[in-house]
Amino acid sequence: MKIKEVKTYIVSQKLGHKSFCYSQAWYNARTIMIVEIICDDGLSGWGEAFGNAFINKSVLDNVYTPILIGQTPFDSEKIWDELYNKLRDNGQKGSCIEALSAVDNALWDIKGKCVHLPVYTLMGGARRETIIPYATGLYHTALNQDPRELVEEAVSYAKADFRAIKMKIGFGVADDIKMVQSVREAIGPNIELMVDPNHAYNAMNAIKLAKGIEPFDISWIEEPVPPEDIKGYQEVKANTTIPISGGEAEFTAYGFKKLIDSRCVDILQPDCSITGGLTAFNRIMTLAKVENIQCYPHVWGSGIAVAVGINACFAMPDFPEALVVPPVYLELDRTENIFREEINKNKLIIEDGYIHLPEFEGLGIDINRELIEKYRIG
């Protein structure tokens, strides 16, 4: 079985409802690059790259595709090193690795379909029967956000049986504290609440924020400071009782080694559509396992990224093993995104706030080609 063709698609949809923002930017459209790798026996696999769809497509079409043609998907680890090394001197992070993620995940999809096994089995086996999806939302629709809108949204997640909610903050420490308090009071004590300022702060203000929200039982603060600010992370971590998470803007095992060695986060959040695919994820898990640091993968994108995240969440190890271990959380963005909802015809089933170990082949994607054709651009 050899790779015969590599097709890249950019799909885009303007948001029908309100634009929304996190601490760094506004969103008014969803634009995603996806790849289909097709083999000479007709089997094909799917992957998605987070980030700038146009740069990702250019890297994939111009650099990776010529290397991929004629290779066998079961050589995926060898292929990963080859593609990485091709752009090593100028692409250790960013779009080059995001495009590599799409390729790598598509190869895992093909391998799984070929042997009729789920990718989580090929990754070494499912470690748990259930995972907990958490609702990511509570973005702002104005810079002077009305807290009542956020409260209403948070309550809707609670009513939909979500056991955990992550809210966007990073709009000023005093404003953040007020919003977190409003949401916690609205959802009550039994739902976990995480906060994500998307690195809007320096260590001084992140510590102020952390102290201010400590009374509201926060499960983690995500990316309090910019990804490059390792010492800032360490300061924040040393000055609050709230766990600190980060890593969605870090790339490959090489990048994560620095994050892990510095012990600057309590929770690692590699994203398999950013950090180099499931091959990189497995390598990062080996490093995390050795240093015994908890991991909850970051997920944000289409149904392809969600499928990849589900496989990662079921296959990743515990940190450490015990008779009773903490649950594993899957990030589930709740903002408007037709590609998350419809690109995979295999629907996500959430029962009583849990996802049960699903049965499928490959990544578990039954691709909606009509949707791709309808929203394809360029």
State the sign of the Cα–Cα–Cα–Cα dihedral 169, 172, 173, 178: negative
Cβ closer to Ca ion: 8 or 269?
Answer: 269
**Active-site residue identified among 116, 140, 298, 356:** 298
| HSE-up (13 A, CA, CB side) for residue 330 | 29
Q: How far, in Å, CA of 165 to CA of 217, rounded?
A: 12
Assess whether 298 carries a catalytic annotation.
Answer: yes
Q: Measured from the CB of residue 197, what is the shortest distance to Ca ion in angstroms?
A: 9
Residue 196 binds Ca ion (CB under 5 A): yes
Of the listed pieces 3-11, 69-77, 137-145, 189-197, which binds Ca ion according to CB under 5 A? 189-197
331 binds Ca ion (CB under 5 A): no
Interaction pattern, residues 302-321, with Ca ion; x per rule: CB under 5 A = --------------------
C-beta closer to Ca ion: residue 153 or 223: 223
Nearest-CB residue for Ca ion? 196
Applying CB under 5 A, does 250 fall inside the site for Ca ion? Answer: no
Tell the burial category of 4 from Cβ atoms under 10 Å away from its Cβ (0-12, 13-18, 19+): middle
* Minimal distance, residue 293 CB to Ca ion, in Å: 18
User: In the bound complex, what is the minimum distance in angstroms from residue 222's beta carbon to Ca ion?
Assistant: 5
Binding map of Ca ion across residues 218-237, x = CB under 5 A, - = no contact:
----x---------------
* Least gap, CB of 69 to Ca ion (angstroms): 36
Q: Where are the alpha helices (DSSP H) in the chain?
A: 53-59, 65-68, 76-86, 95-115, 119-122, 147-159, 173-187, 203-213, 230-238, 252-261, 277-291, 303-315, 338-342, 369-375
223 or 235: CB nearest Ca ion: 223
For 157-225, give the DSSP string.
HHHTT-SEEEEE--S-HHHHHHHHHHHHHHH-TTSEEEEE--S---HHHHHHHHHHHGGG-EEEEE--S
- Contact footprint for Ca ion (CB under 5 A): 196, 222
Catalytic annotation, residues:
298
